[in-house]
């Protein structure tokens, strides 16, 4: 379907976009100068610049390209720019909905146009990694014979998700993650541009910082959140977007499981807290109430598994083994005998030493990721098992842990900007007491590869 070809432009050649379209759509660049973060792909003479430029008589069509990058970095934006700037016929297919028949139909139409001097066809395929091998194979003759110029976009590594014959006939272009400065420029343009919010709202400094931090390098998410926050602000008669408006624009859904009323919810809550509090008698009492009430034993088993990981953790790693075995046995045996299996698991979890340090550790790590503190995977840890990885420097300098003393290689594992972060802090209870001693020795070895920072916790003293 020719989504982009028929769009109208104004006197200056800027595409006329439906004012009711989402802000992220309205703010798609109309000129190369408006593209942010991908200057390395738009240098004069580059494949993308040749695609964007109107075709010259007698010149060979530009090479087909595969655009690889994270969500919201501009893959569709670049396709949109090609559609409006080059004058070529532009056809888009989504790998989510298109089949082999659709692909062959587009190719046949492109061949007919070439045969009658109708010009080149650029075929944009979004999410090409969702195409099957058969669907990708159908593209090969058209790409090899240049019946179409392919623009294929993917968020997955093309070395794994795109067939080798298609990759060998195309140029792979890697889009870089957008920086905070890139997103900041997009926000400024969206606030003032007539295609965007036309100066109707402003963004205070704290709200801007929050918006950029939560965006995760995704331009589409940034503009979508900005538009929602602007709508909330204008609805209450204000002009300045605050952090409260940005928070309201972020949809966080909380789901509560409660299919039998408050009494049911209260009992399961008391059951979990009794196991956590090591009161084995109370835990068995609440287990009995649920069994007698006819509660699904599989539901009870799932709660025990969660308690074993959340509240016992590494203070007694065997508690999780017991809980998982109980869940599997309950599904196999069923009631009424399943009550015996549940009781054994409850006794183990309730009487075990307690530690929630694993639970707290993943919470801290998730908080960092959600706040945008992620960095990039160190090159020596990246996957080096596919064609082209060595050229990219992946795996260079990696030390195989089993070749090192104590099987602990002194090298950096965290992204550089997170060096020294400590998420797991073992307690002095149960198995974690001995684990803490071993972990200190491990962190001391790892810290030597990172200037000593690996052994520090949140600005604390060195281990």
Cα dihedral angle (274, 277, 281, 284), rounded to 10 degrees? 30
Inter-helix orientation angle 280-292/338-351, to 10°: 150
Residue 215 CA, distance from chain mean position: 11
Q: How many CA atoms lie within 13 A of 331 on its CB side?
A: 9
Q: What is the pLDDT of residues 18-27, one digit of tens each?
A: 777 889 889 8
Domain positions in the chain:
23-174, 180-249, 262-351, 363-455
Reference 84, options 32, 42, 140; nearest CA is: 32
Between CA 156 and CA 150 the distance in angstroms is 17
Place of tokens 């060979």: 60
Q: What pLDDT score does 312 carry?
A: 95
Per the document, the length of the chain is 463
Place of tokens 């297919």: 93
Domains 23-174 and 363-455 share a fold: no
Residue 5: φ, ψ to 5°: -65, -35
Between CA 48 and CA 51 the distance in angstroms is 5
What are the E-state strand segments in 146-297? 149-154, 170-174, 202-203, 240-241
Least confident of 132-146, 156-170, 345-359, 408-422: 408-422
Helix (H, G, I), strand (E, B) or coil at 231: helix
For 23-174, CATH gives 3.40.50.300
Q: What is the pLDDT of residues 251-308, one digit of tens each?
A: 532 223 234 444 667 788 899 999 999 999 999 998 998 887 778 888 899 999 999 9
| DSSP assignment string, 77-142 | HHHHHHHHHS-SEEEEEETTT--HHHHHHHHHHHHHHHHTT---EEEEEETGGGS-HHHHHTTHHH
Reference 35, options 90, 70, 77; nearest CA is: 77
Q: What pLDDT score does 274 carry?
A: 93
Q: What is the pLDDT of residues 421-454, one digit of tens each?
A: 888 888 889 998 888 888 888 888 887 666 544 4
**Residue 15 or residue 118, greater confidence:** 118
For 262-351, CATH gives 1.20.272.10
Q: What pLDDT score does 311 carry?
A: 94
End-to-end CA distance of the chain: 62
Considering the four listed CATH numbers 1.20.58.100, 1.10.8.60, 2.60.40.10, 3.40.50.150, the one that applies to the domain covering 180-249 is 1.10.8.60
- At CB < 8 A and 24+ separation, what contacts does 451-455 make? 451/419, 453/419, 453/420, 454/412, 454/414, 454/419, 454/420, 455/420
Residue 195 CA, distance from chain mean position: 29
Between CA 237 and CA 166 the distance in angstroms is 54
pLDDT at 1 over 90: no
Tell the CATH topology of 363-455: post-AAA+ oligomerization domain-like (1.10.3710)
Q: What is the pLDDT of residues 111-130, one digit of tens each?
A: 998 888 877 888 899 889 88
């Amino acid at each position: 379907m020719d989504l982009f070809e028929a769009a109208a432009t104004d006197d200056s050649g800027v595409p006329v976009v439906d004012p009711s379209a989402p802000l992220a759509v309205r703010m798609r660049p109309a000129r190369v100068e408006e593209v942010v973060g991908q200057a390395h792909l738009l240098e004069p003479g580059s494949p993308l610049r040749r695609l964007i430029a109107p075709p010259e008589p007698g010149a060979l069509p530009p090479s087909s390209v595969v655009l690889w990058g994270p969500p919201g970095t501009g893959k569709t934006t670049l396709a949109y720019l090609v559609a409006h700037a080059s004058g070529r016929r532009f056809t888009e297919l989504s790998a989510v909905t298109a089949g082999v028949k659709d692909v062959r139909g587009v190719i046949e139409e492109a061949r007919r146009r070439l045969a009658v001097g109708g010009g080149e066809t650029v075929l944009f395929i979004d999410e090409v990694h969702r195409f099957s091998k058969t669907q990708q194979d159908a593209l090969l003759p058209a790409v090899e014979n240049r019946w179409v110029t392919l623009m294929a976009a993917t968020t997955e590594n093309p070395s794994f998700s795109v067939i080798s014959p298609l990759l060998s006939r195309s140029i792979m272009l890697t889009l870089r993650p957008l920086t905070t400065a890139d997103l900041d420029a997009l926000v400024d343009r969206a606030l003032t541009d007539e295609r965007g919010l036309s100066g109707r709202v402003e963004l205070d400094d704290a709200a801007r910082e929050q918006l950029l931090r939560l965006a995760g390098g995704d331009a589409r998410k940034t503009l979508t959140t900005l538009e929602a926050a602007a709508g909330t602000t204008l609805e209450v008669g204000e002009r300045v977007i605050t952090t409260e408006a940005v928070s309201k624009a972020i949809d966080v859904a909380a789901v509560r499981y409660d299919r039998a009323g408050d009494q049911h919810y209260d009992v399961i809550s008391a059951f979990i807290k009794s196991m956590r509090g090591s009161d084995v008698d109370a835990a068995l009492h609440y287990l009995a109430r649920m069994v007698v009430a006819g509660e699904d034993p599989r539901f009870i088993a799932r709660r025990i598994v969660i308690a074993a990981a959340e509240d016992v953790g590494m203070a007694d790693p065997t508690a999780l083994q017991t809980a998982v075995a109980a869940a599997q046995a309950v599904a196999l045996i069923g009631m009424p005998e399943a009550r015996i299996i549940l009781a054994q698991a409850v006794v183990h979890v309730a009487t075990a030493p307690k530690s929630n340090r694993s639970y707290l550790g993943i919470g801290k790590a998730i908080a960092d990721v959600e706040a945008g503190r992620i960095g990039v995977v160190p090159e020596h840890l990246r996957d080096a098992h596919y064609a082209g990885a060595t050229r990219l420097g992946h795996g260079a300098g990696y030390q195989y842990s089993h070749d090192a003393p104590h099987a602990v290689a002194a090298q950096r594992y965290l992204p550089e900007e997170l060096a020294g972060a400590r998420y797991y802090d073992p307690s002095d209870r149960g198995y974690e007491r001995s684990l803490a001693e071993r972990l200190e020795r491990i962190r001391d070895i790892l810290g030597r590869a990172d200037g000593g920072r690996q052994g520090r916790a949140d600005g604390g003293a060195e281990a």
